[in-house]
Structure formats: structure tokens, C-alpha cells
Amino acid sequence: MPHYSRCLLCGWLVSQFVAGALGAASLRAGIKRSVFGKMPDGEEIHLYTLTNPNGMQVGITNYGARIVSIVVPDRHGNMADVVLGFDNLEGYLGKDPYFGAIVGRYGNRIAKGRFALDGVDYTLPINDGPNSLHGGTQGFDKKVWTARELSQVHPAVELTYLSRDGEEGFPGDLRVQVVYTLEESNALRIDYRATTDKDTVLNLTNHSYFNLAGEGSGSILDQEIMINAASFTPIDATMIPTGEILSVAGTPFDFRHLTRIGARINDDDQQLKFAHGYDDNFVLNHRGPGLVLASRAVDPHSGRVLEVFTTEPGVQFYTGNFLDGSVRGKGGKAYAYRSAFTLETQHFPDSPNHPNFPSTELKPGETYHQTTVFKFSTAN
Ligand code: GLA
């Protein structure tokens, strides 16, 4: 179209028209199911692709009830996948640092893999230094969940899993349901529900690794974050909470205003040194029950914004300090040190051993219900 190239505005108008026409045809809201791979025993694993009317797409697999992809626009409408992960199931069956997974039964660490409940001592697998991390060696991230498409206004997938009494050392048959709903406001809502037949402890979270410039695009240190927390739970050298609840004021943990993630990450601070960066639980400022804005993250370059809302009392902000380029993700990209951050909404780590922390106990007859929303938008 040589005559259009002379007129920048005309060229732009034509490209918008073509994009709009293509968009209308291909971006139909709904759910598509495809094969994601096979488990070693031959069981077929699926990928559910949820699309909303704006063209935002979210990939969910029933292996580990994981978020595989989140494709959202930047300020110019360019789409990018903003979560780390793999192209197929095989990747997740290899070396995988919980990419996008539902973590359970207990998100984050339990000191020395021990806790007592109703006077009974329980022992969990040790898989992180002297401690138990993310539900043990065969946590919910490694389980095959049962998936069902839900017919409701917005595209939604339900995933259920029955964790048997004694699995990874935890008591009680636990029935877990996770529902992912993709809303028109470019919000991905996660509803967690669970019931038990014996007293147990439970702390579910989603372990998505975000890079708002696009997965595999390098460091996140120039992206900015606000965390709605006046205090945090400091850790010891093995990354177990000391039990204190400390004010963030005057520390590198003060993210009450939008701040570059990298601004203070290399400060001479013992907490940062223990975790090799940020890997801490923040105590969210709740003013009552219901959802609260936990965090806002902004990539000034692309303009992409992520807001996280949750009913949970805490959020674990982790800056990918254990990524070292050895994991090759989507398209074979090497995921480098600090090339993603997580915002794991949850109860506090090691709560069963800290009576001053909000309780993680679940009893028969009760229904555990927590909600977290990842909402995407853009800023100029
Ligand atoms: C959580 C932990 C981190 C690390 C990651 C997974 O964020 O707090 O220390 O274990 O999970 O690699």
C-alpha cells in the first residue's frame, strides 16, 4: 500500500481497522481445551485457555492447578505473556520452581517440618534446608487435579483435589476446590475453598512469577511496587519467621508508596542478606473482612499495571532470588536471577508454630474460603 505510507495518520487508521477486524474475529470470549502433555503413567493433562472480550488470555492446566500464561496488553495494545512458565507439561515435570502453581497444603515454610495440633505432633518432609517448604516433596503443585469448565457469565475453570489423611504428613481428608474466573475488567479471580474431616492446618496460595515487561525479558529491578503493609514478619537465617511483627518504617521493606523494586534490594540489611533479596511476608492493612488491595506493581516502560486484591492477611513478596538462568522456560528462554517477582497472598509462614499469628487451623464443619484477584490495566 505505497500511497498509505506517505500519510502516517492514514497508515495508522488502516492498521487499527485491520487489527480491529482481526480482533473481532479471533478474540471471542470463552474457553478452549487442548492437550498439554502426558504424565509418566500416560494420563492426559489439559490446558484451558480462557479469553475475555478484550482479548486477555489466561492459560490454566490441571497439573498443579497452575496458571501457565497471562497475556495482557501494554499501553499501546501490544500483548505479552507476563508470567514465567513452560510451553508444555514436560517442562513442569522437570526442574520447576513452582511456576504458577497452587501451593498446598501449606504455602511457605514450617520450621523443621514439625507442628503440634490438639496435642498430637506431626512431621512433614524436610525439603528446604532444615525446614518444610510449600507442602513437602509432593505438594499440590505436583498433583493432577480434576478440571471442569463452569458455564457462567465469565469464562471459569474449577479444579478439585482430594488430599488424603496423612498425605505429606498432614492430618485429615481435605477436599480442595480452586476456581479461576476471567472477568471483563481484565481481572483473574481465584477462589479457594476447602473442607476437612479432621482438624488440620491449611495455607493455599498461587505461585505465579510476574514480569510485567513480558516473561523472559530480563530483570524486574526497574519495575515498581507498592505493598499495602505497615509491618512484616522478619526471618532467621533459615528463613523462618522469628515471631516478631516489625514496622516497615525506615527499612528497605517500606513499600507503602510505589518504589523501584531494585531501589534498596542490595542494601546492607540482614533481612535482605538472609533471603538474597526480598522473600518476606508482609502484614496487610485490612480494615475489616473482605478484599483489600495488597499490592500494585507497575512497569514504567510498557505501562502494564498489576493490582492484587486479597482476603488473606499476608503476602509473600519474592524477587526470584533463586532463579539463576538454569531453568529454560517458554521458547527456551533462560530465566535469569531476579527476572520475576511473586506476590503470594497467604497466611503467615510457620503459623502453626506461632500462636500470635492468625490461625491456619481448619476444623470439620468449617469451609475455608479465600479469594485473590490479579487485575491488569495500563498507566501512561
Ligand atoms: C517462596 C519462598 C522462596 C522460594 C520460592 C520458590 O517464594 O519464600 O524462598 O522457595 O517460594 O522457589
Domains of the chain (ranges; CATH) run: 31-378 (2.70.98.10)
Q: How far is the CA of 18 from the centre of ligand 1 (A)?
A: 44
Maximum Cα–Cα distance across the chain: 82
Measured between alpha carbons, how far is 248 from 262 in angstroms, rounded to an integer?
17
Torsion angles phi and psi, residue 355, rounded to 5:
-60, -20
Per-residue pLDDT averaged across 57-61, rounded?
98
The four Cα atoms 253, 254, 257, 259 give a dihedral, to 10 degrees, of: -40
- Average pLDDT over the chain reads 93
Q: Which of 95, 106, 133 for mutating ligand 1's site (highest number of atoms within 8 Å of CB)?
A: 133
**In the chain, % of residues over pLDDT 70:** 93
pLDDT at residue 289 in the model: 87
Confidence of residue 288 (pLDDT cuts 50, 70, 90): confident
Work out the angle at residue 47's Cα, subtended by the Cα atoms of residues 42 and 51, and round it to the nearest 5 degrees: 170
Is residue 322 lining ligand 1, measured as CB closer than 6 Å? yes
Measured between alpha carbons, how far is 304 from 112 in angstroms, rounded to an integer?
40
Per-residue pLDDT averaged across 42-60, rounded?
97
Confidence of residue 27 (pLDDT cuts 50, 70, 90): low
Per-residue pLDDT averaged across 245-266, rounded?
98
Report which protein residue has its CA nearest ligand 1's atom 2.
108
Confidence of residue 9 (pLDDT cuts 50, 70, 90): very low
Question: Per residue in 333-345, pLDDT tens?
Answer: 999 999 999 999 9
In the block, cell 498509505 appears at 4
Is residue 316 lining ligand 1, measured as CB closer than 6 Å? yes
Burial class (CB in 10 A: 0-12, 13-18, 19+), 119: exposed
Is residue 208 lining ligand 1, measured as CB closer than 6 Å? no
Instruction: Report helix, strand or coil for 331.
Output: helix
Q: How far is the CA of 118 from the centre of ligand 1 (A)?
A: 29
Question: Per residue in 226-252, pLDDT tens?
Answer: 999 999 999 999 999 999 999 999 999
Q: How far is the CA of 29 from the centre of ligand 1 (A)?
A: 34
Measured between alpha carbons, how far is 313 from 282 in angstroms, rounded to an integer?
9
Instruction: Report helix, strand or coil for 279.
Output: strand
163 or 10, greater pLDDT: 163
Q: Which of 167, 344, 347, 354 is catalytic?
A: 344
Of ligand 1's atoms, which has the minimum distance to the CA of residue 98? 6
Confidence of residue 257 (pLDDT cuts 50, 70, 90): very high
Q: How far is the CA of 135 from the centre of ligand 1 (A)?
A: 12
366 is catalytic: no
Measured between alpha carbons, how far is 76 from 161 in angstroms, rounded to an integer?
40
**CA-to-CA separations, 61 to 21, 144, 182, 232, 233, in angstroms, rounded:** 30, 9, 15, 33, 33
Strands, E assignment, 74-196: 79-81, 101-103, 109-110, 114-117, 120-123, 132-133, 146-150, 156-163, 174-182, 187-196
Task: Please name which of 180, 206, 228, 196 lies closest in space to residue 107, comparing C-alpha atoms.
Answer: 206
344 is catalytic: yes
Question: Per residue in 118-147, pLDDT tens?
Answer: 999 999 999 999 999 999 999 999 999 999
Q: How far is the CA of 27 from the centre of ligand 1 (A)?
A: 35
16 or 222, greater pLDDT: 222
pLDDT at residue 152 in the model: 77
pLDDT at 182 over 80: yes
Q: Which of 134, 154, 207, 354 is catalytic?
A: 207
Q: How far is the CA of 30 from the centre of ligand 1 (A)?
A: 33
- For 368, half-sphere exposure in the C-beta direction (CA atoms, 13 angstrom radius) is 28
Burial class (CB in 10 A: 0-12, 13-18, 19+), 2: exposed
pLDDT at 377 over 80: yes
Is residue 342 lining ligand 1, measured as CB closer than 6 Å? yes
pLDDT at 4 over 70: no
Per-residue pLDDT averaged across 358-370, rounded?
98
Work out the angle at residue 259's Cα, subtended by the Cα atoms of residues 244 and 377, and round it to the nearest 5 degrees: 110
Is residue 233 lining ligand 1, measured as CB closer than 6 Å? no
Is residue 98 lining ligand 1, measured as CB closer than 6 Å? yes
Task: Please name which of 323, 336, 310, 331 lies closest in space to residue 279, comparing C-alpha atoms.
Answer: 323
Report which protein residue has its CA nearest ligand 1's atom 11.
108
pLDDT at residue 28 in the model: 78
Task: Collect all residues with Cβ–Cβ distance below 8 Å to 50 and sequence separation of at least 6.
Answer: 30, 31, 57, 58, 59, 60, 155, 156, 157, 180, 182
Burial class (CB in 10 A: 0-12, 13-18, 19+), 103: buried
Measured between alpha carbons, how far is 233 from 238 in angstroms, rounded to an integer?
14
Report which protein residue has its CA nearest ligand 1's atom 3.
279
